[in-house]
Chains A and B, each alone.
Chain A
Amino acid sequence: MKKRLVYIGSVFVTLLMTFLIIGLIAAAIVQFYALNSNHILSLVEAKQLPEKVSASLTDQFNTMENTTGIPASIFENEISPAKLRPLISDSIENGFSYIRNERANPDAAPDFSILETNVEKFFIEYAETNNIPQDETFKTALRESIQNAESLILSECDVFQFRKLNQYHYLDKIKPFTNWIVIGLLACILAILLMLFVLYGINSEEYEYCFYWSATAALVGSFITLIPSAYVKSSNWFDRFALKQDQTFAAVTGYLNMVTQHIIIISVIGILSSIILYALFGILRNKRMNKQTINEARH
């Protein structure tokens, strides 16, 4: 009867530990990878985001040339991959800093002075050549053209669409939770340690079973995080992402695949840890059984 109670108690504690391990994996992934700008910035080069943004902007300014009359060549230097790289990195850095409550807004404030000078120079030359009066209408058209060009460049460089998400207050829904991630992480660690003490208390007569139950919790918790992540990664599920704009698609799917990959790695580490714990349990159990056998033989 006592052994049954010990078994049932241990199963219950193991279940609790399983969910604590899942919570720990989730909190660790979010804290160290999902919201870590250094990891995310590696996507800029890995996914060739500056080249994609540059190609998109070149296409758009070429298309707009027909309606605006402004040659795309005016913007060429300012939309090269080299010029866009810091803008894209800033937009990613600012966006994730905003989510982590380290900034007041996710907007970047780049220096467009060269672009403004180029557009103004073109407008003035065009007006002088075509005898267009440089009146208020002209100045308004110039100002709006500059604003539209800057807005377009910033919008294209905002590969994760933070400005749009912020505009519709979606980021405000996520922000309150980021303060609790570190607390959650520490709480999970403390709770797991507490569960280990409880397990030791329940299995004090055969303490090697603590390793068995810890291994079971680690194995089950890791399986639960591994299986959906492995399915999503192997089926390229994130390629179903609805926004097909090249740079946004590459950035978002690259980010999601990166996070999924880290979940898989941590889950595999969890499974390997459980194997080590099972092995330790086996060794200690064998030792105890051998000791018992020797004692029985003596008596």
Chain B
Amino acid sequence: MAKFKPKSKVKKKKKHRNLVYYFTPPLVLMLALGICIMAYIFTPVHMVQPFLNLIFLDNHKLTDVSDGLNIIEKDIKTDNGDGQTFSDGKITYPTFGEQYAVLSAESIQLTCGVFYGVNKELLERGACQSTQSPIIGEAGNTVIDAHVNTYFANLSDLKKDDEIILYTDYGNFTYKVKNLIAFDKNDKRYLTASDQTLLTLYTCQPQVIGSPNQRIGVQCEPVSMKFYAPN
């Protein structure tokens, strides 16, 4: 004999079943997303994140894609002021294309802006600091270059012990010339990281005709580091 089920119970069971199947796609979506999140956390995929952050580091939201570079020129004070300074302090990190320092070398009457990042447009506006070198005020070899036919035209006139000052919004930093350097354009030994805190300025060696393959410049050691705010 067939099992008797009241009509209402059958209808209720069908309604319940229908509800389950309505909520199943969101349930499957949540399960799938949960698996994706666990895969991201527990597999080496998350190690790619720092590289992605580096490749897509420019967080300026651009409205016009063709503009590309966002150049920021700033008015930076070049007087030392009367305020208290500290030997170790807070650094304000610049973005690519931002002028974040003023370089001054009185012995060769040089004053120019220093931009963070090196490219053709920035080199037209001032000296450029390599993004692969530490920020002014940080430990290591800070590398700054400019064109020989513009801002660094007199760089070769610098002598040992000449003073160079870098002014920023977070401090001013004084260096003195330690070495005069000359190297081939493919020789990176003066441009690489260093345990010592140095400032390397360089430009192309001028010549009568032809592309310059030699670079000339100076390596400087710090004399004083004056931060405007403590760390």
Q: Which residues in A have some Cβ–Cβ distance to B below 8 Å? A: 7, 11, 14-15, 18-19, 56, 59-60, 63-64, 66-70, 123, 126, 132, 141-142, 144-145, 148-149, 212, 216-217, 219-221, 223-224, 235-242, 244-246, 249-250, 253
Contact = CB atoms under 8 A, between A and B. Distances in A.
Contacts of B96: 242, 244
Most buried by B among A7, A63, A67, A148: A67
A11 B25 CA distance: 9
Interface in B27-61: 27-29, 31-33, 35-36, 54-61
Contacts of B121: 244
A101 B102 CA distance: 49
A70 B210 contact: yes
A149 to B, nearest CB: 7
Given A11-B27, A11-B28, A69-B208, A242 B62 contact: no
Nearest to A140: B210
Contacts of A64: 211
B69 interface: yes
Contacts of B211: 64, 67-68, 70, 144-145, 148-149
Given A70-B210, A212-B21, A239-B62, A244 B28 contact: no
Given A11-B28, A141-B210, A244-B69, 19 more contacts: A18-B28, A19-B35, A66-B149, A67-B204, A67-B207, A69-B208, A70-B211, A144-B210, A144-B213, A145-B210, A220-B28, A223-B29, A224-B33, A236-B61, A239-B62, A240-B56, A242-B96, A244-B68, A245-B119
B68 A249 contact: yes
B147 A63 contact: yes
25 contacts: A11-B24, A15-B32, A63-B120, A63-B124, A64-B211, A67-B147, A68-B209, A68-B210, A70-B210, A132-B209, A141-B207, A144-B211, A144-B213, A145-B210, A148-B211, A220-B32, A236-B61, A236-B62, A239-B65, A240-B56, A240-B57, A240-B58, A244-B68, A244-B96, A250-B66
